[in-house]
Chain A
Amino acid sequence: MKIKIFATVGSQEFQFDRLIKALDMLDKNKYEIFLQSGYSTFFPKNFPYSKFLSKEDFLKKISECDLIITHAGTGAIINSLTANKPVIAVARLKKYGEHVDDHQLEILNTFVQKNYICGFAEILDLDNKIDFALNNDFATFESNTNNFVTNLKIIINNFWVKCNE
């Protein structure tokens, strides 16, 4: 049985050809890959891809795969963690023209430090990294959304309390 991988590079107007080239070099007999390629300029020869996906299709791909390989965007990482899937994240780097700055490295580090994901900037030995991600005991991600929204509503409603005083 092939390992199903969903790869996603996000929607910002920068290429992430480096990751796609690495994925294209993986053993196609071992992995079944689907890629969301965004604004990348390199197109894989060994597996199917789509430039953009609807939110619905994106979440469906996540739920159907064994592993997600993603650029280090918080949306992709969080959606994958919420679906309890193992994640490999690769940071887009400014020096390769992959983003405006290196903030994805910062994002990556916080998730890696808490053992939520497998993450790195330079792509070396992807096959081994995949093996690691599939077998590692990652920490469970806990959502803060309820708490955040409750407090945000208190702040919003407070504007009008003050007006009425």
Chain B
Amino acid sequence: MKTIVLTASSGGHFEQLSVLKKRLEKDYIVNVITEKTQYTKNCENTFLIKQINRKKINFLFTFISNWFKVEKIIKKVNPDVVISIGALATIPVCKIAHKKRKKVIFIESFAKINTPTMTGKYIYKFADVFIVQRKELLDVYPNAIYLNGGIY
């Protein structure tokens, strides 16, 4: 069975990840990399990294700290595919996976209707597959795939 790493930031991104995790677990080995929050503390097959916020003063420090942590996790889990639903916290996961020649699928968040996320714009440059959940975003990401709707 192939191994997938699902990764997302906390909040709405993690909610979308949870929907996918439930469905994908039947056919693949699924591990999760997400931000540590009150409600991600006790989840199965889940690796936690620090919650990161680009407006906070310790942003760079947290980003670097997470980067090293994610390198160890990816080495340990050795996934075949990484699927990210954004946001910022998942950049190290996608970049490191890409460097190790793993397949990277990025799903732009359900919440983004007309405008892209900063994370999406960056990962679009190297993802193997880029999926949008809103038809309107195909104008912003011409090489993206739209699956006739969203995760919900």
Residue in chain B with minimal CB distance to A155: B129
Kindly state whether residue A103 has any CB partner on chain B within 8 Å. yes
Number of A-B contacts (CB under 8 A): 93
Kindly state whether residue B61 has any CB partner on chain A within 8 Å. no
Q: Chain A interface residue count: which class?
A: 20 to 34
- Contact pick for B23, options A13, A75, A145, CB 8 Å: A145
Complex Cα gap A152–B28 (Å): 12
What is the minimal beta-carbon distance from A145 to any residue of chain B, in angstroms? 6
Complex Cα gap A81–B133 (Å): 18
Q: Is the CB of B20 within 8 A of A149?
A: yes
- Contact pick for A11, options B28, B39, B151, CB 8 Å: B39
What is the minimal beta-carbon distance from B145 to any residue of chain A, in angstroms? 7
**Majority-rule SS of B interface residues:** loop
Kindly state whether residue B12 has any CB partner on chain A within 8 Å. yes
Which residues of B58-113 are within 8 A (CB) of A? 80-81, 83, 103, 105, 110-113
Given A100-B55, A156-B4, A107 contacting B111 (CB threshold 8 A) = yes
Kindly state whether residue B10 has any CB partner on chain A within 8 Å. yes
Q: Is the CB of B81 within 8 A of A156?
A: yes
Kindly state whether residue A153 has any CB partner on chain B within 8 Å. yes
Complex Cα gap A104–B80 (Å): 34
Kindly state whether residue A164 has any CB partner on chain B within 8 Å. no
Q: Is the CB of B11 within 8 A of A100?
A: no
Interface size of B by CB at 8 A reads: 42
Which residues of A64-121 are within 8 A (CB) of B? 73-75, 78, 100, 103-104, 106-107, 109-110
Q: Is the CB of A143 within 8 A of B111?
A: no
Q: Is the CB of A155 within 8 A of B105?
A: yes
Residue numbers of A with Cβ under 8 A of B are 10-13, 51-52, 54-55, 73-75, 78, 100, 103-104, 106-107, 109-110, 143-145, 147-149, 151-153, 155-156, 159-160
Give me 9 A-to-B residue pairs in the complex whose CB atoms sit less than 8 angstroms apart, sorted by A's number. A75-B16, A78-B15, A100-B55, A104-B111, A106-B115, A145-B19, A147-B147, A147-B148, A148-B151
